[in-house]
């Protein structure tokens, strides 16, 4: 006997994955975060509270794609003064550039449940290629009858390549804010069609 979940999943390369379709990022089950070095000795973590994504799972999974939009002003590091500075022209300039965009351009490689997704990230009007390392974390059906799949992704970017160059030199050497920013994303895609 075939269960109803079998109708929306398929076996591919040793994984149980969703059938082809369009999914959106579940706002209640996502984290779009980042980590930056502070004063060369510690890390500051933050996230963007408002982000959307449309994920298209293709018949050939290696042809799947994603388009994501992040509201720059929704940045939250749990420190109001720092968040205001990050929204300012010295960093994200969120009034002039309200969104951060990511558009995939292809699946570069995969091994098991891990994929490398090539794409273009646009921050503050500057677009650069960025590869996301994505881990597929499973597929299922929620108690509310929604077909979902889970994923985690990460990348590292040089913020100065996107025009985010503000900094302060420290007396002891080094700078106040590190150039490398780690991007950390976790979420669930919910089937739309």
pLDDT in tens, 38-94: 888 889 999 999 999 999 999 999 999 999 999 999 999 999 999 999 999 999 999
Mean pLDDT across the chain: 93
Mean pLDDT of 108-114: 95
Q: Are residues 189 and 151 in contact, defined by beta-carbon separation less than 8 angstroms?
A: yes
- As a whole number of angstroms, the longest Cα–Cα distance in the chain is 71
User: Is the pTM higher than 0.85?
Assistant: yes
- Domain CATH code at residue 143: 2.40.128.110
HSE toward the beta carbon, residue 40, CA cutoff 13 A: 10
Query: For residue 1, what pLDDT is reported?
Result: 34
145-174, pLDDT tens digit by residue? 899 999 999 999 999 999 999 888 878 887
Averaged pLDDT for residues 34-38 = 92
Residue numbers of the domain that contains 40: 4-191
Number of domains in the chain: 1
What is residue 95's predicted lDDT score, i.e. its pLDDT? Answer: 97
**Which pLDDT belongs to residue 2?**
40
Q: Is the pLDDT reported for residue 3 higher than 70?
A: no
């Amino acid at each position: 006997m075939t269960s109803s979940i079998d109708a929306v999943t398929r076996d591919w390369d040793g994984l149980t994955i969703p059938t082809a379709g369009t999914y959106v990022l579940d706002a209640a089950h996502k984290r779009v975060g980042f980590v930056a070095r502070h004063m060369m000795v510690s890390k500051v973590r933050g996230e963007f509270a408002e982000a959307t994504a449309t994920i298209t799972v293709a018949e050939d999974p290696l042809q799947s794609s994603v388009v994501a939009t992040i509201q720059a002003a929704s940045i939250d590091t749990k420190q109001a003064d720092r968040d205001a500075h990050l929204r300012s022209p010295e960093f994200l300039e969120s009034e002039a550039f309200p969104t951060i965009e990511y558009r995939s351009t292809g699946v570069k490689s995969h091994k098991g449940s891990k994929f490398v997704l090539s794409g273009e990230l646009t921050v503050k009007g500057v677009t650069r290629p960025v590869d996301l390392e994505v881990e597929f974390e499973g597929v299922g059906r929620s108690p509310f009858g929604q077909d979902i799949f889970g994923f985690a992704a990460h990348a590292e970017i040089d913020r100065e390549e996107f025009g985010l160059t503000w900094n302060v030199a420290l007396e002891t050497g080094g700078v106040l804010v590190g150039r490398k920013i780690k991007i950390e994303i976790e979420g669930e895609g919910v089937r739309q069609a």
